[in-house]
Amino acid sequence: MQAQYDVIIIGGGIGGLMAAYGLRMNQPGLRVAIAEKGRRVEQRKCPAAGGRSCVYCPVCSITSGFAGAGAFSDGKFNLGTAYGGTLGEELGERLAMEYIDRVSDVLDRFTPAGIHVKEYGSNEALKLKCLQNNLRLLDMNVKHLGTDNNLLIMENLIRWLEEQGVELLPDTEIRQVEAVPGGYRLRSGQGELEAGTLVIATGRNGAEFVGELCRQFGISMKSNAVDIGVRVEMKDAIWREFSSQIYEPKILCRTRTFEDRTRMFCFNQGGIVSAENNDGVITANGHSFADPARKTENCNFAILSSIHFTEPFNNPTEYAKSFSKMANLIGNGNVLVQRFGDLIRGRRTNDHRLGQNTVIPTLKATAGDLSLALPHRILTNIIETIYALDKVAPGTANDDTLLYGLESKYYSLKPDHDRDFRVCDGIYLIGDGSGICRGLSQSGAMGLYVADKIARP
């Protein structure tokens, strides 16, 4: 197959979709295609849904496919720059906010009539409470779609793009990029494609692809941090003071022993803990649903410890993966779960103790011992953070609190780029894969921004 496009967007997550939307709005005549290694959004089904263990699909439907890694997420769009990336530093606060607000407007446009999307603001009293306990509450406006609405809105947006002539190419993993006169030739398992301009929006999932591209085109890359830790689950009531007033408590902690930075984030009220397959490594995550009927009596959040490596080490992602693999090894191919009380007493959790726990696990994970899979420094940071959080939400450090591991967030390597996020002539790099952002709003904002730069340079 030989095709000719003005722009090919590689990756159909929020970054790629917003780029396509922006291009369509700016220049309806452009020939635009989105090449996505996963499936069409309506065909994304996880065979392990409903509590079964991961069956290791060659392309994971949870993390890949149209609507990207965020397809089944909680759909929390942070309407600010305090976290979720460094777009504010890259573009300046005012411009970054302008694009983040535009993402919010696009979501509104594709929200079906009758669906009420909740927005949450900041809370001074809770901020003070955290401050008095040596914690920093990161507070920002949040638009919360919920998993089900998020998916509906993404489906509407994708349908509109297709109706407007954007070509959707599912099951098309781009493996090679080659410069040709006037543009680039792409190779996938499906054949060849050609385009004058490329927008690379491959997310964290595409780290290897971006790394290879940078090596091939001589683009230098800076190493980034990595966050490693656990997903924490407890009774919803324990964090209700926070969750009833702000949507998502995100709290920074400086740990006592090492003075490292940890963060509590990705809070899911009434949610479930989930397992996801990241290129064969099974890690923990969390979701919640807007539909009250699907709420559980638990809440969950991540506690991750940030590590910034210095020379000569330059492979933080592999470092994080190796510990997650270790947890999978001990967990017989699955995520580990441990009661906090067992962890601090230095013993593994077994099925018997888990069966008697007051917090009922929402993910079927392997009862075990996280201290065998986490380095001492990170484990100490996590334990100290749990005790620190217990001061603002008493009960967080209960024996029956469950820790699932591992969870990690990699920041992609950060390739050199110009102010328009161009890494070389005719190639733009956006979204999580750029190492600049790690969230839906900022990834989407980058998509809209480069669409403006391509259509109106």
Ligand X SMILES: Cc1cc2nc3c(=O)[nH]c(=O)nc-3n(C[C@H](O)[C@H](O)[C@H](O)COP(=O)(O)OP(=O)(O)OC[C@H]3O[C@@H](n4cnc5c(N)ncnc54)[C@H](O)[C@@H]3O)c2cc1C
The residue (of 10 and 354) whose beta carbon lies closer to ligand X is 10
Residue 76, C-beta contacts closer than 8 angstroms, at least 6 positions apart: 142, 143, 144, 145, 247, 248, 440
The nearest distance, CB 144 to ligand X, in angstroms, is 8
The answer to whether 54 and 333 have CB atoms below 8 angstroms apart is: yes
Please tell me whether residue 106 adopts helix, strand or coil conformation.
helix
- Tokens standing for residue 340: 């906090």
The residue (of 37 and 261) whose beta carbon lies closer to ligand X is 37
Q: Does 233 bind ligand X (CB under 6 A)?
A: no
Q: Does 298 bind ligand X (CB under 6 A)?
A: no
Q: Does 439 bind ligand X (CB under 6 A)?
A: yes
The residue (of 137 and 210) whose beta carbon lies closer to ligand X is 210
213 vs 201: CA distance, rounded Å: 13
Interface stretch with ligand X, choices 41-49, 205-213, 342-350, 417-425 (CB under 6 A): 205-213
The residue (of 13 and 316) whose beta carbon lies closer to ligand X is 13
Number of residues that bind ligand X (CB under 6 A): 40
Q: Does 146 bind ligand X (CB under 6 A)?
A: no
Site for ligand X in 278-297 (CB under 6 A): 285
Distances 426 to 195, 433, 443 between C-alpha atoms, Å: 9, 17, 19
Among 9, 21, 23, 74, binds ligand X (CB under 6 A): 74
The nearest distance, CB 344 to ligand X, in angstroms, is 28
Q: Does 431 bind ligand X (CB under 6 A)?
A: yes
452 vs 457: CA distance, rounded Å: 7
Number of Cα atoms under 13 Å in the Cβ half of residue 280:
6
| Stretch 33-72: interaction string toward ligand X, x if CB under 6 A | --xxxx-------------------------xx--xxx--
Q: Does 173 bind ligand X (CB under 6 A)?
A: yes
The nearest distance, CB 47 to ligand X, in angstroms, is 17
> Letter for the amino acid at 43?
Q
Crossing angle of the two packed helices 440-455 and 93-109, in degrees rounded to 10? 100
Residue 403, C-beta contacts closer than 8 angstroms, at least 6 positions apart: 230, 231, 232, 233, 337, 338, 339, 340, 343, 370, 382
Q: Which of 335, 332, 324 is nearest to 300 (CA)?
A: 335
The torsion angle over the Cα atoms of residues 89, 91, 97 and 99, rounded to 10 degrees, is -140
Among 99, 209, 242, 247, binds ligand X (CB under 6 A): 209
Interface stretch with ligand X, choices 8-16, 115-123, 234-242, 396-404 (CB under 6 A): 8-16
Q: Does 438 bind ligand X (CB under 6 A)?
A: yes
Q: Does 331 bind ligand X (CB under 6 A)?
A: no
271 vs 291: CA distance, rounded Å: 11
The residue (of 16 and 88) whose beta carbon lies closer to ligand X is 16
Distances 393 to 158, 242, 252, 258, 270 between C-alpha atoms, Å: 41, 8, 14, 23, 16
Among 61, 73, 262, 398, binds ligand X (CB under 6 A): 73
454 vs 421: CA distance, rounded Å: 11
174 vs 189: CA distance, rounded Å: 8
The residue (of 273 and 343) whose beta carbon lies closer to ligand X is 273
The residue (of 147 and 255) whose beta carbon lies closer to ligand X is 147
Q: Does 10 bind ligand X (CB under 6 A)?
A: yes
Site residues (vs ligand X, CB under 6 A)? 10-16, 35-38, 64-65, 68-70, 73-76, 78, 84, 173-174, 201-206, 209, 285, 431-433, 438-441, 443
